[in-house]
């Protein structure tokens, strides 16, 4: 009997220890990510300029109307966007219908366009973490996944990741830090009063998409056919449509910000909302 009690106590000890390890403190992966982002912040120069009426008037009509709506004129042109999405709904696996909630820690650097993000979630109570990364030296990137704060599960590279990153940060920054719409890295082609084509170019790589501003409902959408790839059964990749949307704008500390951010995969026969967040903390720096 004493032996059984001892065994149960040992098992309980390991269970409690594992739970404390899983849920107390940050993983070394997240600590390293934060250290890398802070180093990049320190190496980013302060941007002292503000958004002028002349610059906003030079935008295509749809983005001009959007910038007026969010009251961008006279606000600072911040070089860094740091947004922590909390409890975002995410489609982890479309095939088996696995959905999770996660915290998504997003960093965007505007002057030398760069984007990285760290996600934290749990699967069956076990911490799952991931990094959307891009390595400037090799000019490649993708996503790394970690389980239980200890084990790397995968390192999946993404074809044309540099272009993918530029398109993604263009869409996200338009809604979270819209002064980026005035960047010299972006050119525009007006389609009509509600729609324009946008092309972002940096380091010899270009990516493009289309902004659509629903003025009546205050919704900004960005769609691209160059952003999202899906792997086929034979291992090859094909491009599908991709949409980023923000709406229900309300007053922020400097300009209006969206109440929600939603990202959708656009298949030929269906649409899948794979990221949906309506709670976040936004900090603009430098």
Distances (CA, A) of 62 to 145, 163, 223, 262, 273: 38, 24, 14, 20, 24
pLDDT band at 209 (very low <50, low <70, confident <90, very high): very high
Does 255 have pLDDT greater than 80? yes
By the 8 A CB rule, do 44 and 111 touch?
Answer: yes
**pLDDT per residue as tens digits for the range 14-63:** 444 444 444 556 899 999 999 999 999 999 999 999 999 999 999 999 99
pLDDT band at 13 (very low <50, low <70, confident <90, very high): very low
Write down the residue that tokens 């890398």 correspond to. Answer: 36
Cβ neighbours of residue 156 closer than 8 Å, sequence gap 6 or more:
142, 143, 144, 145
DSSP 8-state class, residue 180: G
Closest CA to 169 of 114, 218, 251: 114
**Burial (CB count <10 Å: 0-12, 13-18, 19+), residue 154:** exposed
3 state DSSP class of 75: coil
Predicted TM-score of the model (pTM):
0.89
CA distance 103 to 81: 16
By the 8 A CB rule, do 216 and 66 touch?
Answer: no
DSSP 8-state class, residue 24: S
| Residue 249 pLDDT | 97
Please, what is the end-to-end C-alpha distance for the chain in angstroms?
Answer: 66
**pLDDT per residue as tens digits for the range 119-139:** 999 877 789 999 999 998 888
Indicate the length of the chain as a whole number. 286
Closest CA to 105 of 52, 26, 20: 26
Cβ neighbours of residue 78 closer than 8 Å, sequence gap 6 or more:
47, 110, 177, 179, 284, 285, 286
């Amino acid at each position: 009997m004493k032996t059984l009690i001892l065994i149960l106590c040992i098992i309980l000890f390991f269970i409690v220890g594992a739970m404390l390890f899983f849920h107390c403190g940050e993983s070394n992966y997240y600590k390293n990510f934060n250290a890398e982002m802070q180093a990049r912040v320190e190496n980013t120069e302060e941007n002292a300029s503000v958004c002028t009426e002349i610059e906003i008037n030079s935008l295509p009509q749809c983005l001009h109307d959007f910038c007026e709506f969010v009251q961008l004129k006279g606000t600072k042109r911040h070089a860094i966007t740091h947004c922590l999405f909390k409890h975002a709904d995410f489609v982890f696996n479309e095939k088996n219908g696995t959905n999770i909630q996660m915290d998504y820690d997003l960093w965007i650097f505007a002057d030398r366009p760069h984007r990285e993000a760290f996600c934290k979630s749990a699967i069956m109570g076990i911490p799952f973490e991931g990094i959307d990364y891009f390595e400037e030296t090799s000019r490649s990137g993708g996503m790394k996944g970690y389980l239980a704060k200890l084990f790397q599960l995968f390192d999946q590279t993404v074809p044309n990741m540099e272009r993918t990153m530029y398109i993604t940060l263009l869409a996200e920054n338009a809604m979270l830090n819209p002064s980026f719409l005035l960047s010299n890295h972006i050119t525009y082609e007006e389609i009509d009063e509600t729609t324009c084509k946008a092309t972002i170019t940096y380091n010899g790589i270009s990516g493009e998409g289309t902004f659509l501003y629903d003025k009546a409902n205050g919704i900004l959408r960005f769609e691209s056919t160059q952003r999202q790839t899906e792997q086929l059964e034979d291992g090859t990749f094909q491009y599908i449509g991709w949409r980023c949307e923000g709406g229900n704008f309300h007053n922020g500390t400097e300009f209006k910000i969206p109440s929600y951010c939603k990202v959708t995969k656009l298949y030929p026969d269906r649409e899948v909302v794979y990221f949906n967040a309506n709670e976040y903390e936004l900090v603009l720096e430098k």
